[in-house]
């Protein structure tokens, strides 16, 4: 099956964002919303105690992203850039399509449908061509398990930056994300018709900056680690040099070594005395 070109173009933009936000977990756990989760935010058919490999986590991520992309394809009727498309895929990957309440099922708010059976405000504004209004809706979906999650706040900022094609410093700081989320308040009631997504131009500027912001902290840590390693190596070389000198003196005889040590000690004491006098002046 051929991959949607728009989806393919958006993957390099959203994979760093999603992996940074979701965090890789090889053992199933309960996310802040109380949903059994594993891998990179995968929830389908997961039970506590389940374990997977990193390779399996990658497979699940690709499958989940493809499903999220299919939801965006069906729900959006206006042309999108890869940045806009990728931001929506990341958003749907996190919040889901949503479903209306029915019987004992309380339903779930999502990008396509709210629990009250109406479409989300983001979807309605987007399909009306109100891209600014749709972008503003990202910041309203920051709650998981009934409370605001700082990780979701940062993720929505990153998704909005990608959607708008602008840079946003520190928008993707490390923080695990709840897979199940709900908006801050009840979105307005509105209707919209489903459709297909048309390809658009590439909003690369802000997206590439966003990816750079994800990579830069890791590079800084690596550089700091290399500096520490270099310092340790220098110290080891200095110690080795001192040992070699001392062994050479001992080879000349204990008296020679003792004499050199005494001279070094006297020189050190005199230097300390001079330093103290200079300080007192």
Which SS3 state, helix, strand or coil, does residue 40 take?
A: coil
Q: Which residue has the tokens 């000690």?
A: 265
Query: Could you say which of 20, 31, 159, 164 is catalytic?
Result: 31
Structure tokens at 233: 């190596």
Between CA 138 and CA 132 the distance in angstroms is 11
Are 25 and 39 contacting, i.e. CB atoms less than 8 angstroms apart? yes
22 is catalytic: yes
Q: Say if CB 93 and CB 68 are below 8 A apart.
A: yes
> What's the rounded Cα separation, in Å, for the pair 28 and 40?
11
Active-site position among 20, 22, 137, 164: 22
For the question of residue 31 being annotated catalytic, the response is yes
Q: Report which of 206, 120, 123 is spatially closest to residue 163, judged by C-alpha positions.
A: 206
Helix (H) or strand (E) holding 196: none
What are the tokens at 1?
Answer: 């099956």
Closest CA relative to residue 198, chosen from 82, 276, 120:
82
d(CA 57, CA 75): 27
* Separation CA 111–CA 124 (nearest Å): 10
The set of catalytic residues is: 22, 31
């Amino acid at each position: 099956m051929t991959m949607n070109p728009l989806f393919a173009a958006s993957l390099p933009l959203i994979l760093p964002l999603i992996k940074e936000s979701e965090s890789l977990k090889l053992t199933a756990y309960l996310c802040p919303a109380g949903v059994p989760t594993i891998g990179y935010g995968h929830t389908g058919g997961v039970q506590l105690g389940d374990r997977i490999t990193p390779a399996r986590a990658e497979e699940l991520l690709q499958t989940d992203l493809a499903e999220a992309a299919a939801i965006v394809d069906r729900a959006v009727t206006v042309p999108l850039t890869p940045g806009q498309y990728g931001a929506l895929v990341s958003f749907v990957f996190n919040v889901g399509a949503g479903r209306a309440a029915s019987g004992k099922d309380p339903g779930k708010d999502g990008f396509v449908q709210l629990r009250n059976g109406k479409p989300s405000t983001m979807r309605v504004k987007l399909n009306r061509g109100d891209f600014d209004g749709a972008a503003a809706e990202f910041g309203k979906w920051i709650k998981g398990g009934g409370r605001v999650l700082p990780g979701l706040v940062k993720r929505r900022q990153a998704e909005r930056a990608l959607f708008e094609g602008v840079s946003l410093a520190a928008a993707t700081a490390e923080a695990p994300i709840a897979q199940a989320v709900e908006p801050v308040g009840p979105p307005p009631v509105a209707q919209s018709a489903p459709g297909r997504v048309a390809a658009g131009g590439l909003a690369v500027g802000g997206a590439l900056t966003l990816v750079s912001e994800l990579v830069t902290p890791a590079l800084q840590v690596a550089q700091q680690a290399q500096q520490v390693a270099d310092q340790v190596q220098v110290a080891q070389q200095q110690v080795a040099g001192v040992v070699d000198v001392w062994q050479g003196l001992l080879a000349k005889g204990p008296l020679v070594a003792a004499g050199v040590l005494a001279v070094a000690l006297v020189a050190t004491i005199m230097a300390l005395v001079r330093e103290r006098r200079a300080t007192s002046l």
